Amino acid sequence: MSVATSWRYPEIASSYPEIASLAGRDFLTLADLTSAEIWGLLAVSRDLKARHKTRRDPALLKGVVAGLLFRKPSTRTRVSFEAGILQLGGHSLFLTDRDLQLSRGESIRDTAAVLSSYLDLLVVRTFAHAEVEELAHYATIPVINALTDRFHPCQALADVFTIWEEKGDLRGVTLAYLGDGNNVAHSLLMAGAKLGMKVRVASPPGYAPDAQIVEAARAAAGATGGSVEVLEDPREAAFGADCLYTDVWTSMGQEAEAEQRRRAFLPYQLNDELLKLARPGALVLHCLPAHYGEEITPSVAYSPQSAIFTQAENRLHVQKAIMAALLSGTGEA
């Protein structure tokens, strides 16, 4: 469990009191955050994005050394974290299994203890969610989940930030996710529920999101006026939606199931026919990388309604907000 860092960057906490409670904490799943904390992170993201556009990035991570422990390859996650840390005045170290003694059997507990003595922040992209939980348990610095098989909270925060920018609000907005009930779907369910959105997930039998996560999202939606639906019919999910979202059918580690998954998910392809069922001007979203001709067609991905590359850019800004919030405090800078 991380410990509070009371000496860093009180201006963040004072300017955005909604996120003062995030100082020194971990960021593993949006289920751990209140609705007010998520809204606060969105507000900081908007501020940091506006500053970046005019080259006025604040040095909120000056003197910070962040470790990026990645067990999975990455484009957006690695580059956006490294660029964001640099833009805020910090320094990052990219670490893989080959760089650490984890590859030779050193325990996660010992790794967490040692890295905590060298670093100010640890960003982890791995397979099992239990691994990032164990690292966070033993680390004395904040740990950020940059993707596990169960959750992808940084992506979901960038997604709702993108929708907020494009639609002007999130409350009452209908988001239809089509495809695998995976880590992205899990985090979208929680983000949308906590922000008052109407989230629909349409998946083939056997690929629905985890039932416990769905129930937790429904409970959260009950407090915000949102709603959660899990469906099998992609047309029903798409009908009248404000946003249509999809993801790859086969994630890393599932390559042996690729052909089986293609057959199961073919009716869930985000194409022109499904887009016509949505509300006029509906937003098209995809967390990338995309397999064009599988989960999404090029005509939809590159249409005027697509916000796919804005989504990708927004990973940079929301992750800067997360890091600044976790490293903010209430004492003297």
Show which residues are catalytic.
125, 152, 155, 247, 287, 315
How far is the CA of 312 from the CAs of 105, 117, 141, 147, in angstroms?
35, 32, 27, 15
The CA distances from residue 267 to 203, 209, 244, in Å, are 10, 18, 15
**Residue 69 CB partners (closer than 8 Å, separation 6+):** 95, 96, 100, 115, 122, 123, 124, 125, 126, 135
DSSP state of 76: H
Helices (H), 195-280: 211-222, 234-238, 258-265, 272-277
Determine how many CB atoms are found less than 10 A away from the CB of residue 300: 22
In angstroms, the Cα distances linking 246 to 11, 15, 204, 215 are: 37, 35, 13, 22
Helix (H, G, I), strand (E, B) or coil at 150: coil
